[in-house]
Amino acid sequence: MIQELDGWGVKFQKTESGAFDVKKVHHKGAYVLPMPEGYDLKKILTRQMRRVGVKVSNRIMATRLLTHDGRVVGALGLQTRTGAFVVIRAKAVILCCGAAGRLGLPASGYLYGTYENPTNAGDGYSMAYHAGAELTGLECYQINPLIKDYNGPACAYVTGPLGGHTVNAKGVRFIESDYWSGQMMMEFWRELQTANGPVYLKLNHLAEETILEIERVLHGTERPSRGRFHAGRGLDYRDRMVEMHVSEIGFCSGHSASGVWINERGETTVPGLYAAGDMGSVPHNYLLGAMTYGKICAENALQYIGGAGEPGVDVGQCEAERERIFRPTRERNGLPHHQVEYKIRRFVNDYLQPPKVTTKMEIGLEYFERAHRDLAAIGADNPHDLMRAMEAHFIRDCAEMAARASLFRTESRWGLYHYRVDYPEMDNERWFVHANLRKGADGAMEHLTRPVAPYVVPMTDDELSAYHKLRIPAAQA
C-alpha cells in the first residue's frame, strides 16, 4: 500500500539512499513512517477517484443500512442541504465512517472539540449494530494523551523519534515508551494522581533545528491550529514544557481496539457488509492500515458482487426510517438537539470514564435506556438540525454499547482502557477472548465471545507482558 501511494505522489519521508525512513515509537520495533506533506493526501486520492470514474455523492448522511433477506443491500439517509430522504441501493456496502469521536465530552464542554473528527458521531457503529452485525472490544475505549485545553494530540509519534518525551512536573521521565496504549495511559493517569503531576511533553532540551522540524510537522501537516493555540498562550517549545491531560473516551480501532467485527477479508457477520478504517476490528491500524484494509474490503466486495444477484428493497423499512428521520419536524417546540447530546455525553463522562465502577456504569445504563424519550422529543425545523438529531441517536447507541460491553467483561485489561475497580486483575483463564455484542432477535443487545486465533508469529512471554513494564523503576520511587 505504501508503494502504491508513493507511486500516486504521496510523499513519505525517505533516507538519503531512497529507502523509506521508518521511525521507532513503539517500545517493540520500528514501524512509524512519516508523511511530511500529508496535507496533500485527500487531493491525491480525489484525483485517483476521478481517474477511475468513481461517483461521489456528497452531503448525504447515512442513518441506517438497508437490509433484505439477511443481507445488506444499500443505505438510507438524509440529504443534509435539501432535506430529501435518500435511498441508495447497492449489492455490497463498505462502512468506513471513522471512529465514534463524539462519545465522551471534552473537558472544555464544547461538543465538537474532540480529538477525532467531530463529524464522526459513531454512525458506522450504530448502523452496523442495527443491521445485525457483531461488534467487538467495545469495552476497550480509546483514551489519548492530549494537550491541556486544546484537545489535540501530544504527538509522541512525531516528537518521540526526534527526542521529545513525557515527563512529570519535576521533569522526570516515568514511562519507557511514549507510544500511547492502555498501559501507557494507566501510568499517565496514575502520575496525575500523585504530587508529581501534572504531566508534560518535554521538548525544551532539544536543538533548534530539531524543534524547527517538529514545528513544521505539528503546526503544518498535523494541525495548523496547534501553532496558533500555543502562540495565544505564549508557549514556545524552546522555553517551556507543554501540559497534557487525559482525554474523554471514544470508540476507535485505529487508535485502540473497539470496532465492527471483521475477518481477514474485511467481511462483517452480515453478508454484503464490509468495514474498514477506524471502525473495522483491526487494532491500532492507523492511517496506512486503514487504507490497506480498505483495499482488501474493496477487492473482496467485488468478488461477492459477482454472485450476489440484484438487491431487493424492503419498502416497510424505508418508510419506517423516513418516519424516524423526520419526526423532529413535528416537534416545533421540542428539545434542542445540542442539549440532548450534551446530557448523554455528560452521563458518559460521569459514569463510564475509567476507572470503571460497576454501580456507576449501571446508573449510566439506566439513563441511556431512558434517553430514548429525550431523543423522541427533539425538535427540528431545517435539514441541519435533523442531521444533528440523528447524530444524537448514534451517540446514545454507542453509549449503551460501551456500558453493556464494560459490564460484560468482569476483569481489567488494556491498562486504563478497561480498568474496573471492582475487578482490578486481568483474568486470562476466563477472559482471553474477544467479547462481542450484537442485536438479538428480541431487539435487545446480547453478548457472545469468540476465541483468540493463534498468533501468526509466535510470541515470547516477555513480548506478551511488555506493556506491563512501561514504568521506569526509578520514577516509581
Query: CA-to-CA distance for 312 and 176, rounded, in angstroms?
Result: 55
Q: Which amino acid is at 192?
A: L
Q: Give the neighbor-by-neighbor strand order of the sheet with 60-68.
A: 60-68, 71-79, 85-89
Query: CA-to-CA distance for 404 and 361, rounded, in angstroms?
Result: 8
Query: CA-to-CA distance for 277 and 284, rounded, in angstroms?
Result: 10
Query: CA-to-CA distance for 186 and 354, rounded, in angstroms?
Result: 10
For domain 145-246, which CATH number applies: 3.20.20.70, 3.30.428.10, 3.90.700.10, 3.30.43.10?
3.90.700.10
Helices and strands (H and E) in the chain: how many: 15, 13
Question: Quick check: pTM over 0.85?
Answer: yes
Query: 35: number of CA atoms within 13 Å, CB side?
Result: 18
Query: CA-to-CA distance for 350 and 167, rounded, in angstroms?
Result: 28
Topology of the domain covering 330-451: Methane Monooxygenase Hydroxylase; Chain G, domain 1 (1.20.58)
Q: What pLDDT score was predicted for residue 475?
A: 52
Q: Which amino acid is at 262?
A: I
Q: Under DSSP, is residue 149 helix (H, G, I), strand (E, B) or coil?
A: coil
So where are the chain's domains? 1-48, 145-246, 330-451
CA torsion, ordered 176, 181, 185, 188, to nearest 10 deg: 20
CA torsion, ordered 386, 391, 394, 396, to nearest 10 deg: -100
Q: Are 314 and 363 a contacting pair, CB within 8 Å? A: no
CA torsion, ordered 465, 471, 472, 475, to nearest 10 deg: -150
Spatial CA neighbour of 252 closest among 273, 282, 274 = 282
Q: Under DSSP, is residue 338 helix (H, G, I), strand (E, B) or coil?
A: helix
Count of CB atoms situated within 10 Å of the CB of 270 = 20
Radius of gyration of the chain (CA): 23
Spatial CA neighbour of 109 closest among 338, 270, 331 = 338
Mean pLDDT by 10 residues, the chain (477 residues): 93 92 84 82 94 94 97 97 97 96 93 90 98 98 92 81 93 90 94 95 96 90 88 94 94 94 97 97 91 96 93 94 97 94 98 98 98 97 97 98 98 97 97 98 96 91 88 68
Spatial CA neighbour of 4 closest among 261, 294, 260 = 294
Query: CA-to-CA distance for 334 and 330, rounded, in angstroms?
Result: 9
**DSSP assignment, residue 199?**
E
Q: Under DSSP, is residue 257 helix (H, G, I), strand (E, B) or coil?
A: coil
Q: What pLDDT score was predicted for residue 30?
A: 83
Q: What pLDDT score was predicted for residue 477?
A: 44
Query: CA-to-CA distance for 448 and 471, rounded, in angstroms?
Result: 34
